[in-house]
């Protein structure tokens, strides 16, 4: 892929204006567009592009720049994240004294997750001191199973209720019909 070197005066403005300047300059380089300086008799100066294509092709260049940057970032980030997570360091106290063995962020995160999941908690999942305790992992699994059970139980109860209503409606209808026939004297 050919490389383009661009020079952009960095204005003390917003990141959007800086992005605009970078994309415009890259477009000029790709299209070989020259900037032309003008001055009038009063000393007023301005610049304009030598070709009017800049506005029409700018969008295509911006898309290409964005996709190239995105591909580069997507290719580089996993390796960088793995490098950061696997880099070994020495834990220290808040006073800068070494504590424990050298470790990695990945190992610390795993240990923290293990400690958090095995911490004893109350029935509401909190670390209450005056409550019946079980590991948080047990509490979480129990909560998930209870919610699933409640959903299944609700569905079964609703279905059973519908069956009972249908059957009772049929029986009541038959019994009322039989009683009316008996009273009226119809066989």
Q: What is the per-residue pLDDT across 145-160, written as a single tens digit (0 to 9) for each? A: 888 888 888 888 888 8
> Do residues 70 and 94 share a domain?
no
pTM listed for this prediction: 0.43
21: Cβ contacts below 8 Å, ≥ 6 apart:
8, 9, 10, 11
Task: Give the number of domains in the chain.
Answer: 3
Residue 95 pLDDT class (50, 70, 90 cuts): very high
Task: Classify 74 as helix, strand or coil.
Answer: helix
Judged against a pLDDT cut of 80, whether residue 91 lies above it is answered with yes
Strands (E), 84-162: 88-89, 103-104, 120-121, 134-135
Please indicate, yes or no, whether residues 67 and 96 belong to a single structural domain of this protein: no
Domain identity same for 103 and 67: no
Residue 159's pLDDT is: 85
Look up the domain containing 140 and give its range: 134-184
């Amino acid at each position: 892929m050919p490389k383009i070197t661009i020079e952009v005066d960095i204005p003390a403005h917003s990141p959007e204006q800086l992005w605009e300047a970078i994309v415009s300059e890259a477009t000029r380089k790709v299209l070989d567009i020259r900037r032309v300086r003008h001055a009038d008799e009063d000393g007023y100066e301005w610049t304009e592009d030598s070709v009017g294509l800049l506005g029409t092709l700018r969008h295509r260049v911006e898309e290409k720049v964005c996709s190239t940057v995105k591909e580069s970032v997507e290719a580089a980030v996993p390796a960088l994240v793995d490098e950061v997570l696997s880099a070994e360091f020495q834990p220290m106290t808040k006073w800068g004294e070494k504590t424990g063995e050298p470790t990695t962020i990945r190992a610390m995160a795993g240990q923290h997750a293990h400690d958090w999941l095995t911490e004893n908690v109350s029935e509401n999942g909190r670390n209450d001191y005056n409550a019946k305790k079980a590991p948080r992992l047990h509490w979480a699994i129990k909560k998930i199973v209870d919610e699933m059970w409640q959903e299944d139980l609700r569905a079964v109860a609703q279905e059973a209720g519908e069956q009972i209503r249908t059957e009772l409606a049929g029986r009541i209808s038959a019994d009322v019909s039989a009683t009316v026939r008996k009273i009226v004297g119809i066989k």
